[in-house]
């Protein structure tokens, strides 16, 4: 192998990652899988794809070693292959946000008819939790909460929020979070809470963001301190 062949082969393999994440739907699948393992059928429902198309995209991600697969009976469960994939996804998102003004424009357009959609950063939230000043709601599905959540958070899936409103304190600010800045679950939760007279804001960070930045993450049904 000469110098040129070496360079060509190395960059061909590096390009496999780029090709694997060149599809918007594959990025969305990875975004969901970052929250915890999922079957093909659940992923199809989450991303508005057919099961056949979901399987095709997942095979491409698996070929690039970005996801692992495990078959149990008739169902195949996929998961992020390791934490380096979550780090890569976060860095790619931050790079895109810093270089592509279209992302900010789309976010502003989406939030334009949702006035005062306040948000809180991770450091501020951590201090408020330590001071006992806020109630933190994880509004993702319960299985995502069990796969990893912010310590002290209470699992209240968005689908259950309305019927559980009476269990929430009115004398504390409520911070809702879900899967990250592009997830709408926390936005809808804050809208509902404010409509019902609660003081509510949203946390844009996801649990993988929280973990990557070195903050503690709780697992299972543990709510922690």
| Mean pLDDT score of the chain | 92
Residue where a domain terminates, one of 31, 51, 85: 85
Tell whether 69 is covered by a domain. Answer: yes
Tell whether 160 is covered by a domain. Answer: yes
What pLDDT does residue 225 have?
Answer: 45
Task: Verify whether residue 178 is a known catalytic residue.
Answer: yes
Residues 50 and 141 in one domain: no
Residues 114 and 179 in one domain: yes
Residues 115 and 184 in one domain: yes
Interhelix angle 24-33/83-99, rounded to 10 degrees, is 130
pLDDT digits (tens, 9 = 90+) for 119-156: 777 788 778 777 778 899 999 999 999 999 999 899 99
Looking up tokens 């690039």 gives 64
DSSP symbols for 95-140: HHHHH-HHHHHHHHHHHTTSTT--EE-HHHHHHHHHTT-EEEEE-S
Residues 116 and 207 in one domain: yes
Domain residue limits at 131 = 105-212
Looking up tokens 């809808």 gives 188
What pLDDT does residue 111 have?
Answer: 85
Q: What are phi and psi of 110, to 5 degrees?
A: -65, -35
Tell whether 20 is covered by a domain. Answer: yes
DSSP 214: T
Residues 35 and 79 in one domain: yes
Residues 190 and 155 in one domain: yes
Residue where a domain terminates, one of 32, 57, 85: 85
By CB atoms closer than 10 A (0-12, 13-18, 19+), residue 69 is middle
Which bin fits 6, alpha (ψ -120 to 50), beta or left (φ > 0)?
alpha
Q: Which residues pair with 120 in a beta bridge?
A: 203
> Residue 116's pLDDT band (boundaries 50, 70, 90)?
low
Please, what sign has the CA dihedral across residues 76, 77, 78, 81?
Answer: negative
Tell me the CATH number at 127: 3.40.250.10
What pLDDT does residue 57 have?
Answer: 98
**Arithmetic mean of pLDDT, 101-128:** 81
**Arithmetic mean of pLDDT, 178-206:** 93
pLDDT above 70 for 163: yes
Residues 112 and 81 in one domain: no
Tell whether 91 is covered by a domain. Answer: no
Window from 18-22, 62-66, 110-114 with minimum mean pLDDT: 110-114
Based on the structure, what is the number of domains in the chain? Answer: 2
**Arithmetic mean of pLDDT, 189-193:** 94
∠ Cα 39 43 49 (to 5°):
135
Tell whether 222 is covered by a domain. Answer: no
In the chain, what percentage of residues exceed pLDDT 90? 80
What pLDDT does residue 133 have?
Answer: 83
pLDDT above 70 for 192: yes
Residues 50 and 112 in one domain: no
Candidate list 40, 44, 85, 178, residue with the active-site label: 178
In the chain, what percentage of residues exceed pLDDT 70? 96
Tell whether 224 is covered by a domain. Answer: no
What pLDDT does residue 222 have?
Answer: 63
Tell whether 60 is covered by a domain. Answer: yes
By CB atoms closer than 10 A (0-12, 13-18, 19+), residue 25 is middle
> Residue 112's pLDDT band (boundaries 50, 70, 90)?
confident
pLDDT digits (tens, 9 = 90+) for 13-50: 999 999 999 999 999 999 999 999 999 999 999 999 99
Q: What is the pTM of this model?
A: 0.88
Window from 66-70, 119-123, 184-188 with minimum mean pLDDT: 119-123
Residue where a domain terminates, one of 56, 85, 114: 85
Tell whether 32 is covered by a domain. Answer: yes
């Amino acid at each position: 192998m000469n110098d040129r062949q070496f360079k060509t082969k190395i960059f061909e393999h590096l390009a496999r990652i780029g090709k694997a994440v060149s599809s918007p739907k594959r990025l969305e699948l990875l975004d969901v899988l970052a929250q915890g393992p999922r079957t093909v059928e659940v992923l199809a429902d989450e991303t508005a794809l057919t099961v056949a198309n979901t399987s095709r995209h997942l095979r491409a991600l698996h070929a690039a070693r970005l996801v692992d697969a495990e078959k149990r009976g008739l169902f195949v469960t996929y998961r992020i292959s390791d934490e380096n994939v979550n780090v890569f996804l976060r860095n790619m998102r931050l790079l895109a946000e810093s270089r592509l003004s279209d992302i900010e424009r789309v976010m502003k357009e989406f939030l334009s008819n949702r006035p005062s959609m306040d948000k809180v950063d991770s450091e501020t939230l951590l201090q408020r939790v330590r001071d006992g000043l806020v109630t933190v709601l994880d509004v993702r599905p319960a299985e995502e909460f069990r796969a990893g959540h912010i310590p002290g958070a209470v699992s209240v899936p968005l689908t259950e929020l309305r019927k559980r409103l009476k269990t929430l304190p009115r004398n504390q600010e409520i911070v809702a979070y879900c899967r990250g800045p592009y997830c709408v679950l926390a936005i809808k939760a804050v809208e509902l809470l404010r409509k019902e007279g609660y003081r509510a804001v949203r946390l844009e960070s996801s649990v993988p963001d929280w973990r990557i930045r070195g903050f503690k993450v709780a697992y299972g049904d543990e709510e922690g301190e």
